[in-house]
Structure 1
Amino acid sequence: MRLAIFDLDNTLLAGDSDFQWGQFLIEEGYLDREQHLARNLQFYEDYKQGKLDIYAFLDFQLKPLSEIPRAELEQLHARYMERKVRPMMTDLAQALVDKHKAQGDELLVITATNSFVTTPIAKAYGIDQLIGTTPEQIDGQFTGGVTGTPSFQHGKITRLNEWLSARGQSLADYETVWFYSDSHNDLPLMQLVAQPVAVDPDDTLRAYAEAHGWPIISLRHA
């Protein structure tokens, strides 16, 4: 039994699904361009620098989910998938997923981006299991809050262990575990698995991977 774990944004995707969801809502007229874009860009810079306040970001990013009726959100997401997500999906990423699937490996996406945005993206790659930050819901409508631990930095380990525990499993049950990621924010989980792989990594992760002999691959360029 083997497990292949994939980060999503800037790993399987050649771009950031959370950032592009905000851009999409701006283009659709749901968000004010000037106000939202400036904050979105600042949060993205904080993320890249490893100093993101995840709860401040989630307050900002999940608020639109609470202001749009659920049925309308589903229609928006379908358009978002075609306009923003499909262009970020790469043949090399799909080939890697398909390779693990052909080997009989279990597949899992783990991402800090909320599960409303990301679950359909994982399924588009043929991956049914996803751990994402969980938006709070009451009677089927999002509240703008969060349920449980955000799957960010060390939170990815917490959420992965919760996911395994619910299945009566632990990481030790797997013969080997891969984790593919682009970001130094994922170093806690990468250090935990047997097979960490840096994918189009940021400078911090690249330096760490080189120093520790981890594979470095690109899913954007052959």
Structure 2
Amino acid sequence: MQLALFDLDHTLLPCDSDYAWTQYLIDAGVVDREDFTRKNDDFYAQYRAGMLDVQAFLDFQFAPLADNPRARLDAWHADFMARTIVPVIGQAARALVNRHQEQGDLCALITATNSFVTGPIAREFGIPHLIATIPAQDGYGRFTGRVRGTPAFRAGKLERLDAWLEAMGSWRGAFTRIWFYSDSFNDLPLLQAVSDPVAVHPDPPLRAHAEQAGWPILELYP
């Protein structure tokens, strides 16, 4: 049995879905343009520099989820998918996922971006399993603005992967090969824990590490 894990932002997608979702809300007039643009840019820069305060970012990212009813959020997200996400998905990214599925590999999208944003994107790729940061909900299905469990970020991705496998009655050692495709040095804990790490459009620190370690470097987008 083999396992293929895919990061999302700047890996299967040529953009950052977290950043793009907030930008969508800004353009739609849902949130304050000046305040959210500044914070969105600041958090994105922190992430790319490997210095993200994940709890502060989640407080920022989850606020619009808590402030709006689920039906309204779902309608916005459907429009976001049609306008922003689906048009930028490349054939090479789809082909990569399809190749692993045709091999019979167990496939999962594993991303720090929250499950509300990424669930529909995983379905668009036909990936059946999603490991993502989870926004907490109350008993009525409304988002609370808090995170549930461990964020799927840095070492948290490895923790969440192991918990997911355990829930299925499995573990990493049960697989003959595990691929993980990622663009980010933030994902180094998981990249180092799999048999087949692949750097995809890597940021400069990951590119340097991949070249030194002899990892494959993949370019899915021009």
Query: With structure 2 as the length reference, what TM-score do the two structures score?
Result: 0.98
Superposed CA deviations along residues 91-118 of structure 1, whole A, max 9, x for unmatched, are 1100100111111111000000000000
> How far, CA to CA, are the matches of 1:90 and 1:133 in structure 2?
25
In the alignment, what sits opposite 1:46?
A: 46
Matches within 5 A, 1:2-17: 2-17=2-17
The answer to whether the aligner puts 1:71 opposite 2:80 as a matched pair is no
> How far, CA to CA, are the matches of 1:62 and 1:85 in structure 2?
20
> How far, CA to CA, are the matches of 2:115 and 2:168 in structure 1?
19
In the alignment, what sits opposite 1:189?
A: 190
124-133 or 80-89: bigger deviation: 80-89
Q: Give 5+ residue unaligned stretches, structure 1.
A: none
In the alignment, what sits opposite 1:169?
A: 170
108-117 or 83-92: bigger deviation: 83-92
Matches within 5 A, 1:149-164: 149-164=150-165
Matches within 5 A, 1:16-165: 16-138=16-138, 139-165=140-166
* % identical equivalent positions: 53
In the alignment, what sits opposite 1:179?
A: 180
> How far, CA to CA, are the matches of 1:22 and 1:131 in structure 2?
21
> How far, CA to CA, are the matches of 2:167 and 2:102 in structure 1?
26
**RMSD, matched Cα:** 0.6
Question: Is the partner of 1:152 in helix, strand or coil?
Answer: coil
> How far, CA to CA, are the matches of 1:83 and 1:144 in structure 2?
26
> How far, CA to CA, are the matches of 1:87 and 1:204 in structure 2?
29
Question: Is the partner of 1:150 in helix, strand or coil?
Answer: coil
Superposed CA deviations along residues 121-168 of structure 1, whole A, max 9, x for unmatched, are 011001010011000000200011000000000000110011011111
Q: One-letter code of the match for 2:63? A: K
Q: One-letter code of the match for 1:203? A: P
> How far, CA to CA, are the matches of 2:10 and 2:86 in structure 1?
14
In the alignment, what sits opposite 2:217?
A: 216
Q: Which runs of 4+ in 1 moved over 3 A?
A: none
> How far, CA to CA, are the matches of 2:130 and 2:76 in structure 1?
21
Shift of 1:191: 0.3
Query: With structure 1 as the length reference, what TM-score do the two structures score?
Result: 0.98
Q: Give 5+ residue unaligned stretches, structure 2.
A: none
Matches within 5 A, 1:194-213: 194-213=195-214
> How far, CA to CA, are the matches of 2:84 and 2:67 in structure 1?
21
> How far, CA to CA, are the matches of 1:184 and 1:137 in structure 2?
31
> How far, CA to CA, are the matches of 2:159 and 2:124 in structure 1?
26
